[in-house]
Amino acid sequence: MAEHLRHGEEALHRVVASDVLAPVHEHLLGVRAADARHPRLGHHPVGAEERRVIHVDELHRRVGKPAQQRVVLVGVRLRIGADAIQQGSHAGHATTAGRIVPGVQAVQFDLADPQFPASLVDVDEPALPGPDWARVEVLTGGICGSDLHLFSHNTGPSPTLYGNVAFPFLLGHEIAGRVVEAGPDCAVRVGARVAVDPCIPCRARGIDPPCANCARGWTSSCLNLDSRVVSPGRSLGFTQGLGGGWAEQVAAHVSMLHPLPDGVPDRAASLHEPVSIAAHGLLRAPPAEGDPVLVVGAGIIGLATLGALRGLFPSHEVTVLARHEHQATAARACGADHVVRPAPDNAHFAELAELSGSRVVGRRGELMLMPGFPYVVEAVGAPQSVTESLRAVAHHGTVLLLGAAGISEVDLTPVWYKEAALVGSIDHTVDAGSAPGLAGGPSRHSVDRALDVLAAGFLPDEVVVTHEFPLDAYRDAVATAIDRGGANAIKVVFRPCG
């Protein structure tokens, strides 16, 4: 079940019951028997079923969680004739036919080991899907909070990411490395150090004309992320056959490559991804001149937002709400003007009120600021932090959602009561707008802005890259990232070839 898929084959898996991971499978991985009727695959009979019971005891023991949870996975494997899959220069492994392909190591989310949902596997070195692609050896691959959702809790049955993931898939979308092979039409040459934008929108998939959103320049909202052209995965980190950030190598289209400045050392290089998330979000709805900003959360997204604010909007006073002591220390080291620690019964709202010239209304811990901060960045994604952000925003203010909030119960009354705007953002793209800071020029890609922020030292790697692991220590690496409070972890990275 975990083997490398070949051209002309497709594996389908269906989850029937689970305490922990089924919603991830069904709705994030999008693997259901119904996929056998995917138009590109035609109608094919379903083969023999394979049943497995998968315990995630070891993982939960490592992070001190209850051990009884289990997953039941029913895998349905289906062989399909090569003619049933769309042919063309982008078709799977066609380009590897007839030559011996060296293997590389990669961490694969495959549920193959009853002890842990991912495995270290040998896969073919990624083949270039087209002449304008490059093969990159990975120097740094970050572990993202969104990766940890796959290991520690489910994201709920939201349809947003349905069907956007290959299964099994190679992990890691925070990627920096060095080009080791460049196709004839790839302008970035062998030897170049690069940040890799993990998104695979129309242009990278060779889809021409592009979708309506890409045509508008909204490549982070590409309508073809689930097209299954080049890969069934929406982005690197969720694909098979293209390598990944938790792998020795990865393949990327030339449009996904951004030259790394000399001022960004290898161990800091994968930080471009969270900083780019913040930069794109801030330019989706920039704070008005002089507005103080509250950042709720001081994990890597909160700290990356702080760094991006200093690079894009340097004159804005920034208050950071930090849950853990080591996060508070890091926020101060990254230049926060004020750091507030959450207190029982939301007693810290008094401090937030003072910093924003507001008063506190409410009782028994259910508190709100009047008016509040004109600009709030939610950088956690938990229901409490979304509610806290909404209750802290001022009238006619903006709450930017950068944490990957899921299905949850939140207090939405401040949105209408304060006529506030709730703004969403995902991934990376060219933002047409500009900002006053050094990374703020008009019509720049968010990854390039992020690299400027990093090169200027606004997110020092000695502060935020707290742990480095080789690939074969992937279980310890994931456990460390999950246990961030106990391990004092902020950003945990792999150094596959570093």
Residue ranges in contact with Zn ion by CB under 5 A? 144, 201-202, 210-211, 214, 222, 224
CB of 253 to Zn ion, least distance (A): 13
Beta carbon nearer to Zn ion, 73 or 175: 175
Reply yes or no: is the peptide bond before residue 371 cis, omega within 30 of 0.
yes
CB of 223 to Zn ion, least distance (A): 5
Beta carbon nearer to Zn ion, 281 or 371: 281
Q: How buried is 157 (Cβ within 10 angstroms: 0-12 exposed, 13-18 middle, 19+ buried)?
A: middle
CB of 439 to Zn ion, least distance (A): 19
CB of 174 to Zn ion, least distance (A): 5
- For 173, half-sphere exposure in the C-beta direction (CA atoms, 13 angstrom radius) is 25
CB of 201 to Zn ion, least distance (A): 5
Q: How buried is 237 (Cβ within 10 angstroms: 0-12 exposed, 13-18 middle, 19+ buried)?
A: buried
Reply yes or no: is the peptide bond before residue 383 cis, omega within 30 of 0.
no
Beta carbon nearer to Zn ion, 76 or 236: 236
**H/E stretch holding 27:** none
Cα four-point dihedral sign 220, 226, 229, 233:
positive
Do 463 and 307 form a contact (C-beta atoms < 8 A)? no
CB of 347 to Zn ion, least distance (A): 33
Beta carbon nearer to Zn ion, 301 or 336: 301
Strands 193-196 and 174-182: antiparallel
Beta carbon nearer to Zn ion, 145 or 286: 145
Beta carbon nearer to Zn ion, 10 or 174: 174
Structure tokens at 465: 């890259």
Instruction: State how far the alpha carbon of 261 is from the alpha carbons of 193, 266, 451, in Å.
Output: 8, 10, 7
Identify the CA nearest to 334 among candidates 483, 490, 445.
490
Give percent helix, percent strand, percent coil of the chain, each to the nearest 5. 30, 30, 45
CB of 300 to Zn ion, least distance (A): 9
Beta carbon nearer to Zn ion, 177 or 201: 201
Beta carbon nearer to Zn ion, 114 or 217: 217
CB of 215 to Zn ion, least distance (A): 8
Beta carbon nearer to Zn ion, 271 or 435: 271
CB of 212 to Zn ion, least distance (A): 8
Beta carbon nearer to Zn ion, 129 or 210: 210
Strands 421-424 and 169-170: unpaired
CB of 273 to Zn ion, least distance (A): 5
CB of 483 to Zn ion, least distance (A): 19
What is the distance between the alpha carbons of residues 323 and 179, in angstroms, rounded to a whole number? 39
CB of 277 to Zn ion, least distance (A): 7
Strands 393-401 and 49-55: unpaired
Instruction: State how far the alpha carbon of 269 is from the alpha carbons of 309, 334, 426, 442, 498, in Å.
Output: 19, 17, 20, 23, 11
Q: What is the side-by-side order of every strand in the sheet holding 116-124?
A: 116-124, 103-113, 169-170
Phi, psi of 255 (to 5 degrees): -70, -10
Residues 6+ away with beta carbon under 8 Å from 186: 131, 132, 133, 134, 254, 257
Beta carbon nearer to Zn ion, 319 or 385: 385
What is the distance between the alpha carbons of residues 373 and 392, in angstroms, rounded to a whole number? 6
Cα four-point dihedral sign 340, 345, 351, 356:
positive
Beta carbon nearer to Zn ion, 60 or 258: 258
Residues 6+ away with beta carbon under 8 Å from 409: 383
Nearest residue relative to Zn ion (C-beta): 144
What is the distance between the alpha carbons of residues 445 and 449, in angstroms, rounded to a whole number? 6
Phi, psi of 411 (to 5 degrees): -85, 105
